[in-house]
Chains A and B, each alone.
Chain A
Amino acid sequence: DAKTTQPNSMESNEEEPVHLPCNHSTISGTDYIHWYRQLPSQGPEYVIHGLTSNVNNRMASLAIAEDRKSSTLILHRATLRDAAVYYCILRRANTGNQFYFGTGTSLTVIP
């Protein structure tokens, strides 16, 4: 399985943008890039996903490098409720739908 590398932790001030990086240098052409987050005492929740183009939804934006070897999850205005562990996951579409979680980034939002 293709691996992802994320910083262990990051901090952000409340109401400022947050850029969470993810490296996936062994990504293959059929791998989708997914982001999930896990708030304390909850199961992971879907945030966003993409294949080649940048994506926006109500929660976040996903910026994908042209060579697809890295991506960045962008939270436009961090709130205290965004404090969570953010996981970047590659999902290989042509061999099933297994999601293997990496170590993730623990985001702390400072009031």
Chain B
Amino acid sequence: DTEVTQTPKHLVMGMTNKKSLKCEQHMGHRAMYWYKQKAKKPPELMFVYSYEKLSINESVPSRFSPECPNSSLLNLHLHALQPEDSALYLCASSQDYGTGVTGANVLTFGAGSRLTVL
């Protein structure tokens, strides 16, 4: 299994809703990532988890709350979002993360969850 699966593919929510995006991989990867991508822009790194612990938070607003329940799952909990948070949210995984990681440590991305905030 060489896939990263993201659900849901599409999500529409109001500014007062609470929702979650889910990501799953069964490649035995120990690092997982959330990226945000606005239309016609490159992906922007949000969070990195390594061995189920948060390693990087790129100053993301607290209305985005990541969670890594186990090495195969990554969630992004959404609360009180703004319309400008509408974007494609991409999950990725890699074999490892940290100092001394080799060049073979490539990212595998999911297809993304397209979020619309009304």
CB A98 to nearest CB in B, in angstroms, measures: 6
Instruction: Establish whether residues B42 and A32, one from each chain, have CB atoms under 8 Å apart when the complex forms.
Output: no
Interface string of B12-42 (1 = CB under 8 A from A): 0000000000000000000101000000001
Instruction: Return chain B residues, CB-CB under 8 Å to A49.
Output: 103-104, 106
Instruction: Establish whether residues A43 and B90, one from each chain, have CB atoms under 8 Å apart when the complex forms.
Output: yes
A45 at the interface (CB under 8 A from B): yes
Give chain B interface residues in 81-115, CB to chain A under 8 Å: 90, 92, 94, 96-112
Instruction: Return chain B residues, CB-CB under 8 Å to A91.
Output: 103, 105
Instruction: Return chain B residues, CB-CB under 8 Å to A36.
Output: 107
CB B60 to nearest CB in A, in angstroms, measures: 14
Instruction: Establish whether residues B103 and A51, one from each chain, have CB atoms under 8 Å apart when the complex forms.
Output: yes
* Cα-based distance from A95 to B31 in the complex (angstroms): 14
* Cα-based distance from A44 to B106 in the complex (angstroms): 11
Instruction: Return chain A residues, CB-CB under 8 Å to B8.
Output: none
Stretch of A20-28, A64-72, A76-84, A101-109 at the chain-chain interface: A101-109
Instruction: Return chain B residues, CB-CB under 8 Å to A46.
Output: 106-108
CB A89 to nearest CB in B, in angstroms, measures: 9
CB A56 to nearest CB in B, in angstroms, measures: 15
Instruction: Establish whether residues A99 and B111, one from each chain, have CB atoms under 8 Å apart when the complex forms.
Output: no
A2 at the interface (CB under 8 A from B): no
Which residues of A pack against B, CB within 8 Å? Answer: 32, 34, 36, 41-46, 49-51, 85, 87, 91, 93-104
Which residues of B pack against A, CB within 8 Å? Answer: 4, 31, 33, 42-45, 48, 55-56, 90, 92, 94, 96-112
Q: What are 23 contact pairs spanning A and B, CB under 8 A?
A: A41-B111, A42-B111, A42-B112, A43-B92, A43-B109, A44-B90, A46-B108, A49-B103, A49-B104, A50-B103, A51-B103, A91-B103, A93-B102, A94-B99, A94-B100, A96-B48, A96-B97, A97-B94, A97-B98, A98-B45, A100-B45, A101-B42, A101-B43
